[in-house]
Amino acid sequence: MAKLPEKTKQIAQVHAQLINTVVMGCHNKEILPQLELVLKSSEQNGWLALVARIRKILAGSRNSKLLIGLDEEDAAIILAILVGLQDSTQLPKIEDSTHSEFAAPGLANMIDAASKGDVKALSVLGDMAEQMVSTSGDIRHLGGMIRPLINGERDLKILTINMDEKGVKLVEDLLEELAKLNPQ
């Protein structure tokens, strides 16, 4: 299980943030409360089988039987997590991942928690922002806007300066999720 097939790599790249966060959670139990927020959001979005397998991995399971019964996308994500746990060089790079359907709810929950004083959420977001800022493109910009988002910035035009269409969509989705968490 040393290297991922090309199609699996492509699917994993779309879900790079989730995969990397789960692997980090396996190594650093302090981020599990924030990861749980992401998993709950994922369940609400219908990713029940995937989340059940991720929870088994977080509990220590590393068995390839976790792949049985999953659709192609879920299996690719679980396989990427398992391979990433064995060899971190095989983890998908976060810089290419702007899949807002997954990223926005989880990121919004962490930003909301951090803005309400959750020290662990703030720490996780700080680490995440640091990794994101060291990349390029829209993910770099997103990493740079974490602090303003925690501090309450919600102006789409300010937040999306120099972002392409995918990046703007991610920020729109993120702002929508934040609005759901804090209705006026």
Give residue-wise pLDDT tens across range 89-122.
Answer: 888 887 544 445 556 777 888 898 889 998 877 8
CA–CA separation, 48 vs 108, rounded Å? 20
The residues of the chain scoring below 70 in pLDDT are: 1-4, 95-103, 134
Q: What percent of the chain has pLDDT over 70?
A: 91
> What predicted TM-score, i.e. pTM, was given to this entire model?
0.55
159 touches 145 (CB < 8 A): yes
48 touches 70 (CB < 8 A): no
- Consecutive H or E run containing 144: helix 137-150
162 touches 170 (CB < 8 A): no
- Match 């966060």 to its residue by tokens: 21
Taking only the tens place, the pLDDT of each residue in 144-158 is 899 999 999 999 999
